Every structure is written in structure tokens, then in C-alpha cells.
Amino acid sequence: MAGPLVQVEKLCKTFGAGETAVRALADVDLQVGAGEVVGLKGPSGSGKSTLLNLIACIQEPTAGKLSIGGETVWEGHWRVPDLRRLRRERIGFIFQFHNLLPFLNAIDNVALAMTLDGVDRTTARQRAGALLDYLQVGKRASAMPSRLSGGEAQRVAIARALVNRPQVILADEPTAALDSERARVVMDLLRQVAREQQAAILVVTHDEKIFDRFDRMVALRDGRIEQEQPRAA
């Protein structure tokens, strides 16, 4: 496939209408290519989560164009017949709050994404277990979410987002609850996934310790892209 996996052109999002309208994003252009890991930073309220939600097709843009994998997903209206399927098959989303299913243990939270896609349960659990091991949370595989620490739950949620090998991975502060060693493990894994699966990865972060782990940083301010910073060599 030619072209970037994520292509955002003059994308806008306004919440509400009239005098109370909030312009969260204005004319945002952004491309993320296969194998690329891009960081997204900016002050609180600058539109980072909104941009992630638009690319994930969780919220609907108000103007502009969004393409995923070369396919136009939104331009004036949704262009794909089944958004849930698009999200499930092509997009991995790591939320700021991990929102694991409370009635499934850690490994089944991860395996569920695969069984929904038709993978048999044994294979799904094996793959889920291997990913949890890599993320250093394998010992907690049978724990229920309410028994996990914040950092453990976050790593389980990361495993869940990656397990289907999505083309596009979107992460909202994935290292916020982690110490620097574990944050490094998560970033190394994301870089490995980008390289090996040729995924496009966009990560919202305030964490300056990991800025050097990105191919480039994009900054938002008041809903607009401020600057693009190539990583220092």
C-alpha cells in the first residue's frame, strides 16, 4: 500500500454550536507512516485526546478528511459501512483509563479481542500470555482487574490493544502510571511493533523522559499543530 497509514487533512472538530461552541481542533494536517512512532504533546485542552478519538473513529469530525490505510474513512460523512469492524480490525487504542472488563481476568481481557475475531481460545490465551509476560505482568494473568495495581492494569490494557496486530495504534498517555523502567519497556515494545508489523503509532504523552523514543514529536496548541520536531540525531 502506498502512502501513509494515517492521513489527516484539514481536520476540524467543534463541540456544540452557537455561542457555546468549542473549537477543539482546527485544520489539523498529520501523517503517520508504516513503521513510524510519533509523539503528540501539548497543554491540557489543546485537543490531543480529541485528535486521537477522531483518528480512532470514536468521535466524528466536523470538517476535513481522514484516511486510514489509504481508504477514506471520513469526508463530509462516514465513508465506511461498518465503523466497529474497522476499529476492531485495524485500530488498537490504549486509553488513558484502561477500562478493562471487570468480570474477566487479565489474560481473558487480552484474549477476548482475539476470540471476537475468530481465533480459537487456546491460541488466543497463548498469545495473550506471551504478551503479558513480555510486559512483565504475566504473573498476574489470572487476577481480576480490581486486584491489579494501576501500572499492572495499564500494561494489561496495552497487551489488549496490541494482540490483534492492528495497523494503527493510538495511545493516550500509555506510560503515565509506570515508573521509568516500565515506561521504557512499553516504549521499546511499541517501537518493536512498529518495526515488525509496520504499524503506524501515535502516542499522546506529557512524559519528557520518553520524548527521545519517538521518531518525531508533534505539538498541539489551541487545536492547531504548532511545530514538527524531527528527533535530534
Ligand X SMILES: Nc1ncnc2c1ncn2[C@@H]1O[C@H](COP(=O)(O)OP(=O)(O)OP(=O)(O)O)[C@@H](O)[C@H]1O
The phi-psi region of residue 76 (left if phi > 0; otherwise alpha if psi is between -120 and 50; otherwise beta) is left
The pair phi, psi for residue 183, each rounded to 5°, is: -60, -40
* Nearest approach, Cβ of residue 40 and ligand X (Å): 9
In the block, cell 484474549 appears at 111
Q: Which is nearer to ligand X, 48 or 155 (CB)?
A: 48
Residue 109 contacts ligand X per CB under 6 A:
no
Shortest Cβ distance from residue 38 to ligand X (Å)?
15
Residue with cell 485537543: 47
Q: How far is the CB of 33 from ligand X (least distance, A)?
A: 23
Report CA 31 to chain centroid distance, whole Å. 15
Which residues 158-197 are close enough to bind ligand X by CB under 6 A? Answer: none
Q: Which is nearer to ligand X, 13 or 127 (by Cβ)? A: 13
52: its cell numbers? 486521537
**Long-range contact pairs involving 48-51 (C-beta distance under 8 Å, separation at least 24):** 48/172, 48/204, 48/220, 49/96, 49/172, 49/204, 50/13, 50/24, 50/25, 50/223, 51/8, 51/11, 51/25, 51/220
Q: How far apart are CA 92 and CA 203, in angstroms?
A: 12
Q: Which is nearer to ligand X, 108 or 172 (CB)?
A: 172
Closest contact distance (angstroms) between CB of 47 and ligand X is: 4
Q: What is the C-alpha to C-alpha distance for residues 186 and 147, in angstroms, rounded to an integer?
A: 21
Of residues 33 and 45, the one with the C-beta less far from ligand X? 45
What is the separation of C-alpha 132 from the centre of its chain, rounded to a whole number of angstroms? Answer: 18
Site string for ligand X, 4-23 (x = CB under 6 A): -----------x------x-
Q: Which of residues 20-59 bind ligand X (CB under 6 A)?
A: 22, 24, 42, 44-50
C-beta closer to ligand X: residue 50 or 167: 50
| CB of 26 vs ligand X, minimal distance in Å | 11
- Nearest-approach distance from CB 175 to ligand X, in angstroms: 14
**Which residues of this chain interact with ligand X, rule CB under 6 A?**
15, 22, 24, 42, 44-50
